[in-house]
Structure 1
């Protein structure tokens, strides 16, 4: 008895040009590891300075993850400076103190 099996004969697979096998993909999406926008909606705050800082977060959409830190730190620094400036704006003058001024 012979255990070898002869190759099956049947219709040959049709030849397809290699160009027909290429997959059409959107630019920037051909590499799954490539950065892709998160498309997180940003709602305007009504403060132009804060909105500009938050819009800067969109710059991270086109960077590799190791580039996100710089953008996040820049936005954080700008928002912190904006909040600090709110505290530094002059308000009404403080009342005079009488401690230590006894004549």
Structure 2
């Protein structure tokens, strides 16, 4: 037997531990979390169209798979507004030189 004391194995300390994976990101740091795009929307002067365009902001708080519903709703509303422009009565068409409307 030997009178020497065996060397103690070094104990792991905070400095010698391998780097650990970072904790789950906080919700505000999560790149996959919904985030506003902050795209400026200039008013058009048409209340119906402006209301539809303002609805796009609803997508800012939804996950990506929820954007489609908002975009389709806005598209449908804008298409209806354009269609309504064609349906509004305007001034009568001028008479042609043959006495009928062209």
What is the TM-score when the length of structure 2 is the normalising length?
A: 0.64
CA apart distance, 1:62: 0.3
Which 4+ runs in 1 deviate beyond 6 A? none
Aligned twin of 2:37: 38
CA apart distance, 1:29: 1.3
Distance 1:91 1:33 in 2: 50
Distance 1:7 1:57 in 2: 63
* 2:52 aligned with 1:56: no
What is the TM-score when the length of structure 1 is the normalising length?
A: 0.63
Aligned twin of 1:66: 65
Any gaps of 5 or more consecutive residues in structure 1? 1-5, 14-21, 98-103
Q: CA RMSD in A?
A: 3.3
Q: Following superposition of structure 1 onto structure 2, how do residues 67-82 of structure 1 map, counting pairs within 5 Å?
A: 67-82=66-81
Aligned residue-pair number: 84
* 2:28 aligned with 1:29: yes
Distance 1:80 1:35 in 2: 27
